[in-house]
Amino acid sequence: MDGNAWLKALNKLLTMVQRVVLLSGWFLAALVLGLTIKSGLQPFLAMFLASLLVIISVLVHESGHYLGARWCGMPVLQVRIAAVELQVLRRGWRLRWSPQLKRNRLGGYVMAASNPQRPLRGQWMVVALSGPLLNLLVGGAALGLGLHWQGVPGAIALAFAVINLVMGVGNLLPAWRVSPSDGMLLLSWYVHRDDQRPELAQARLLALTVSGVPSAQLPAQDLERLARGAMPEPLVAFGYRLNARQDQGDWPGVLQMEQELDELLEARAGELTGMSVVIELLRGELVFSRAYLQRDASVLKNAPMGADVDWYAPWLRPRCLALQAILEGDRQQGEAYMQQALQAAQNCVVLSQGQSEALLAEHLRALSKP
pLDDT band at 304 (very low <50, low <70, confident <90, very high): confident
Task: Please state the rounded mean pLDDT for residues 121-147.
Answer: 97
Same domain, 35 and 128: yes
**Residue 1's pLDDT is what?**
44
Same domain, 145 and 66: yes
Same domain, 171 and 316: no
Same domain, 86 and 23: yes
Q: What letter would DSSP give residue 91?
A: S
Q: Choose the final residue of a domain: 190, 218, 236.
A: 190
Residue 152 has pLDDT above 50, yes or no: yes
Q: Choose the final residue of a domain: 157, 190, 223.
A: 190
**Residue 177's pLDDT is what?**
79
Per residue in 174-218, pLDDT tens? 998 778 999 999 999 999 889 999 999 999 999 999 999 999 999
Tell which wins on pLDDT, 121 or 41: 121
pLDDT band at 101 (very low <50, low <70, confident <90, very high): low
Q: Is the bond preceding 232 in cis, omega lying within 30 degrees of 0?
A: yes
Q: Choose the final residue of a domain: 137, 164, 190.
A: 190
Same domain, 183 and 236: no
325, part of any domain: yes
Same domain, 94 and 13: yes
Same domain, 240 and 307: yes
68, part of any domain: yes
Residue 92 has pLDDT above 60, yes or no: yes
Q: What percent of the chain has pLDDT over 70?
A: 97
230, part of any domain: yes
What's the chain's average pLDDT? 93
Distance of alpha carbon 283 from its chain centroid, rounded? Answer: 21
80, part of any domain: yes
Region class of 368: left (phi > 0), else alpha (psi between -120 and 50), else beta = alpha
130, part of any domain: yes
Tell which wins on pLDDT, 7 or 358: 358
Q: How many domains does the chain have?
A: 2
Q: What letter would DSSP give residue 214?
A: -
What is this structure's pTM?
0.92
pLDDT band at 95 (very low <50, low <70, confident <90, very high): very high
pLDDT band at 8 (very low <50, low <70, confident <90, very high): confident
Same domain, 147 and 229: no
- Name, of 65-74, 78-87, 270-279, the range with top average pLDDT: 65-74
- C-alpha 244/C-alpha 227 separation (Å) is 15
Task: Please state the rounded mean pLDDT for residues 32-46.
Answer: 89
Q: What single string gives the DSSP state of each residue in 27-39?
A: HHHHHHHHHHS--
Asked if 205 and 223 touch (Cβ cutoff 8 Å), the reply is yes
**Residue 355's pLDDT is what?**
97
**Residue 5's pLDDT is what?**
84
195, part of any domain: no
Q: What percent of the chain has pLDDT over 90?
A: 85
Look at 14-23, 262-271, 315-324 and tell me which has the smallest mean pLDDT: 14-23
Q: Coil, helix or strand for 89?
A: strand
196, part of any domain: no
Same domain, 100 and 139: yes
Same domain, 228 and 328: yes
286, part of any domain: yes
Task: Please state the rounded mean pLDDT for residues 56-72.
Answer: 97
Same domain, 66 and 95: yes
Q: For residue 216, what are the domain limits? A: 203-368
pLDDT band at 338 (very low <50, low <70, confident <90, very high): very high
Tell which wins on pLDDT, 303 or 345: 345
User: For the sheet containing 108-112, what is the strand order?
Assistant: 93-97, 84-88, 76-81, 108-112
Task: Please state the rounded mean pLDDT for residues 245-268.
Answer: 96
Helix pair angle (316-327, 351-368), 10° resolution = 10
What per-residue string of b and e applies to 301-313 under the rule 16 or more CB within 10 Å gives b?
eebebeeebeeeb
Task: Please state the rounded mean pLDDT for residues 26-40.
Answer: 92
Same domain, 171 and 207: no
